[in-house]
Structure 1
Amino acid sequence: MNSIGYLGPKGSFSEEALQLFMSKQKEWKENRPDPLPFSTIPRLLSACERKEISFGFVPLENSTEGQVAATMDMLGQTEDLYIVKEFIHPVNQCLLTPKPLKLGQIERVYSHEQALGQCRDFLETHLPQAEQIVCLSTAEAAQKISSVQENWAAIGPRRAAELYSLHCQEERIQDAMLNATRFILVTHSLAEMSSETSAEDKTSLLIIAQNVPGSLAQILQEFASRNINMSRIESRPSKKKLGEYVFFIDIDGYVFSPIIQEALWALHQKNVSTKLLGSYPKAATNPLP
């Protein structure tokens, strides 16, 4: 089944980003995968792991709110799934209502936890009276308020207002105007190296450091001593023991380049556990409107 999963339903930022992403994939011009919505990221990535879908398209991090925990945790748990592309998508949040309302009339605001976080200042300043309710996606929030006549609102993309016949009360309500989300495409095999030098590639790794003084510093030194640039490091609980963490690391270069293989071998010699999450072309940063 040539399909690509995304966090739905229709009208979510994930769907908006996916449509733009697919329009830029020349190799899919003749055989474009069918978009398939999922209610949660874990269900999506589990379906991809079982090969029920060909690809998964999921958010990884936001420039305002940081990591998407569900994506990172699932990447650490799944087997034989690799990141093969990344895509940077600007995010403009809108306040949507079933009918025109004054801000002081709004009693509840529904949205995904990331969207609520991205609009924290707006909500505290303009809607302090409104109860904030977390939904599985921005599109689910829009869908929920579309069927009621209450004084409720949702935060989501303008496209959701068009799909669910909502009133766009306010636009660009996110706290940071340069707000963007990094999405990743995952599938069952590694991407090929972009060029002979691999300068345009990025490698993502999951590293389990021993819980002893200096262990993380020693790991990072293996990359620094070889002049391998590290563009990102994030920690997540290991879920095995309180106080034990795993580290998600992005480094410049393709995983099979000699210098990265040398660094990984050095870590292996130190009994450091590493998991390859993917090696793929760096995304071009989209101009933010």
Structure 2
Amino acid sequence: MSEEPLESRRVYSYLGPAGTFTEAALAQVPEARGQEWRPVRNVGEALADVVEGRSNAAMIAIENSVDGGVTTTQDALATIPGLRIVGEYLVPVNFVLVARPGTRLEDVTVVAAHPVAYGQSLQWLTTNIPGHEHLPAASNVASALGIAEGTSGADAAVAAPGVVAHHEYEVLAEDIGDNSNAVTRFVLVSRVAPPPAPTGADKTSLIVELPEDHPGALLDLLEQFATRGINLSLLASRPIGDELGRYRFVIDADGHIEDERMADALLGLRRFSPKVVFLGSYPRADRVIIRYPQRYSDEVFVEARDWLRGLIAGEPEV
């Protein structure tokens, strides 16, 4: 590791080792290129690096199109203060089947794979290696490293395509994922700082607790967004953990905190909820411009506030 001070370089933590999908997400960050990439073992370690100043930012997985939200990430962001999401990145999820050089597909009887990767390639494995045994692995890279280092009891491993660039493998098959549209969403997390400027294609992430459990409580929360014309692209519940029946909600809302409608919604949430965690406003990975009816434009909100101020000041209505 370089001995230069952190201020003179940028350090990025990611789930390692080299060859993971997380590394592929970090490779999409222009400002991370040519900087120091710090491999870590789990999400908690990545976020601790940021909070404690070992890294400027961390890349972590937050959602998968097949398996839904990454609960360890959502829970960590809900409970670790001082963090902000500053960007999101999408990585297509596909897998390769790798083995030691000279291995043939018909030689394979035991397959090492992370349980999630195994579940997402099970149809291919069942069709092409019927009767195989699954050897669970700690990660997609760990399954392949065991093969390369000769420490695995498996004949082959389901792994991310990136591992092929770092070790010598026999690639027995490519594109073995059962869902060709599978995508994982990653977020880049830094310490608290002003959000990036609005682009018109932005997302705001929040974690909100309900004030109490009563009929319509969730509807009350959702109305903070619906009455301001804000679409939600993610709404997921997670147990708070202090007692049964208490949940927090992970929310992705279309728009930026500097948009008048979003700012007004956040004020409503703050009045409504005992705890609102603002995770950040940042550009959407797909860069799709947010469309909304004219009645929710910034100008309408500003005009309404000016109208109210005029009433309070006793100004004649125009």
TM-score (norm 2): 0.79
Match of 2:190 in 1: 187
Please list the CA deviations of residues 128-154 of structure 1 after superposition, one character each: whole Å capped at 9, or x if unmatched: 533334433211221112122854221
Task: In structure 1, give the amino acid aligned to 2:207.
Answer: L
Go from structure 1 to structure 2 and tell me whether the alpha carbon gap of 1:270 and 1:42 turns closer, same or farther (over 3 Å shift): same
- Give the Å deviation of 1:104: 5.6
- Give the Å deviation of 1:248: 0.6
2:95, 2:177 → 1: CA distance? 6
1:123, 1:247 → 2: CA distance? 36
Match of 2:245 in 1: 243
- RMSD (Å), alpha carbons: 2.3
Decide which structure has the larger Cα Rg and report it.
2
Go from structure 1 to structure 2 and tell me whether the alpha carbon gap of 1:109 and 1:74 turns closer, same or farther (over 3 Å shift): farther
| Equivalent residue runs for 1:39-50 within 5 Å | 39-50=41-52
Match of 1:113 in 2: 115
- Give the Å deviation of 1:272: 4.2
| Equivalent residue runs for 1:117-156 within 5 Å | 117-148=119-150, 150-156=153-159
1:28, 1:169 → 2: CA distance? 33
TM-score (norm 1): 0.87
Match of 1:203 in 2: 204
1:179, 1:240 → 2: CA distance? 34
- Give the Å deviation of 1:50: 1.4
Go from structure 1 to structure 2 and tell me whether the alpha carbon gap of 1:107 and 1:230 turns closer, same or farther (over 3 Å shift): same
Match of 2:87 in 1: 85
1:234 is the counterpart of 2:254? no
Go from structure 1 to structure 2 and tell me whether the alpha carbon gap of 1:204 and 1:94 turns closer, same or farther (over 3 Å shift): same
2:21, 2:196 → 1: CA distance? 29
- Give the Å deviation of 1:100: 4.7
Match of 2:16 in 1: 8
Secondary structure of 2:265's aligned partner: helix
1:138, 1:236 → 2: CA distance? 26
1:175 is the counterpart of 2:183? no
1:243, 1:146 → 2: CA distance? 47
Go from structure 1 to structure 2 and tell me whether the alpha carbon gap of 1:242 and 1:95 turns closer, same or farther (over 3 Å shift): farther
Go from structure 1 to structure 2 and tell me whether the alpha carbon gap of 1:285 and 1:223 turns closer, same or farther (over 3 Å shift): closer
Task: In structure 2, give the amino acid aligned to 1:65.
Answer: D
1:11, 1:271 → 2: CA distance? 41
Secondary structure of 2:177's aligned partner: coil
- Give the Å deviation of 1:266: 1.9
Stretches of structure 1 that go unaligned for 5 or more consecutive residues are none
- Please tell me whether the aligned partners of residues 190 and 278 of structure 1 are also in contact (alpha carbons under 8 angstroms): no
- Please tell me whether the aligned partners of residues 200 and 253 of structure 1 are also in contact (alpha carbons under 8 angstroms): yes
Alignment coverage as a number of residue pairs: 278
Secondary structure of 1:176's aligned partner: coil
- Greater relative contact order structure (CA < 8 Å, 6+ sep): 1
- Please tell me whether the aligned partners of residues 201 and 284 of structure 2 are also in contact (alpha carbons under 8 angstroms): yes
Match of 2:306 in 1: none
Secondary structure of 2:243's aligned partner: coil
Match of 2:3 in 1: none
Deviates further, 274-283 or 108-117: 108-117
- Give the Å deviation of 1:278: 1.2
Go from structure 1 to structure 2 and tell me whether the alpha carbon gap of 1:123 and 1:236 turns closer, same or farther (over 3 Å shift): farther
1:190, 1:279 → 2: CA distance? 11
The one of 32, 57, 64 equivalent to 1:55 is 57
2:276, 2:120 → 1: CA distance? 32
Deviates further, 126-135 or 211-220: 126-135
Deviates further, 263-272 or 59-68: 263-272
Identity %: 31
Task: In structure 2, give the amino acid aligned to 1:6.
Answer: Y
- Please tell me whether the aligned partners of residues 105 and 151 of structure 1 are also in contact (alpha carbons under 8 angstroms): no
1:60, 1:237 → 2: CA distance? 17
Please list the CA deviations of residues 235-265 of structure 1 after superposition, one character each: whole Å capped at 9, or x if unmatched: 2222222332221100011123332222222
1:77, 1:110 → 2: CA distance? 34
- Please tell me whether the aligned partners of residues 43 and 73 of structure 2 are also in contact (alpha carbons under 8 angstroms): yes
